[in-house]
């Protein structure tokens, strides 16, 4: 039976610097070693200005069923955005690739040199654009996350006006 990637429901998340949501990846079966890859289209727009669009692939290492970073995927925006109104939207498609971790990371040039990495992928290894066809999969998890906010008086009071999130089962 092929390994199936799953994602939990979203939970609200907030720390001193960020606000958003978190979900957790899981895999069925045992002896899963490889990577979870996620292609992201990320758009940020302030005050109805031209959006900043980023497209990148990020990666979680899976070693003997243990998913790096506890399998957590954070969709966040900085609380410093409270000074203006705006929107962030993203579409994320994730899938599992079984295999030798080092071979996959070398082929994908995800060697953590951060020369071509995405500034919004946080702690995860990432590269701009899509991975080669041999590492793409049709099955996996697809999610959409969109948030909007109005200008706030303080960072502490900052919150979203509207949140829309959706995931395929």
- Cα–Cα dist 99/114, whole Å: 23
**Contact by Cβ (8 Å): 21, 12:** yes
pLDDT tens column, 132-162 = 999 998 888 999 999 999 998 888 888 888 8
- Cα–Cα dist 109/22, whole Å: 27
pTM of the entire structure?
A: 0.91
- Which DSSP letter does residue 105 get? H
What is the pLDDT of the chain when averaged over all its residues?
89
Mean pLDDT of 119-140: 86
- Cα–Cα dist 107/104, whole Å: 5
- Name the burial class of residue 106, with classes exposed (0-12), middle (13-18) and buried (19+) by CB atoms within 10 angstroms of its CB: exposed
Within 10 angstroms of residue 112's Cβ, the number of other Cβ atoms is: 11
Q: Where are the alpha helices (DSSP H) in the chain?
A: 101-108
pLDDT tens column, 78-118 = 999 999 999 999 999 999 999 999 999 999 988 666 666 67
CA 153 to chain centre: 29
Within 10 angstroms of residue 66's Cβ, the number of other Cβ atoms is: 11
Mean pLDDT of 45-56: 92
Mean pLDDT of 7-23: 92
Q: Residue 89 is encoded by which pair of tokens?
A: 């939207």
């Amino acid at each position: 039976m092929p390994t199936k990637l799953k994602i939990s429901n979203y939970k609200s998340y907030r720390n001193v610097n960020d606000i958003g949501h978190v979900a957790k990846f899981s895999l069925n079966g045992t002896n899963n070693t490889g990577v979870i890859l996620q292609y992201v289209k990320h758009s940020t727009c302030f005050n109805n200005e031209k959006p900043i669009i980023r497209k990148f692939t990020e990666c979680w290492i899976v070693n003997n069923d243990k998913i790096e970073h506890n399998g957590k995927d954070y969709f966040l925006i900085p609380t410093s955005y409270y000074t203006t109104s705006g929107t962030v939207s993203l579409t994320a498609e994730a899938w599992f690739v079984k295999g030798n971790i080092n071979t996959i990371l070398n082929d994908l040039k995800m060697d953590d040199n951060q020369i071509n990495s995405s500034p919004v992928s946080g702690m995860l290894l990432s590269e701009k654009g899509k991975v080669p066809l041999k590492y793409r999969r049709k099955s996996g998890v697809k999610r959409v996350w969109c948030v909007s906010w109005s200008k706030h008086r303080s960072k502490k009071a900052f919150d979203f006006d509207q949140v829309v999130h959706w995931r395929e089962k």
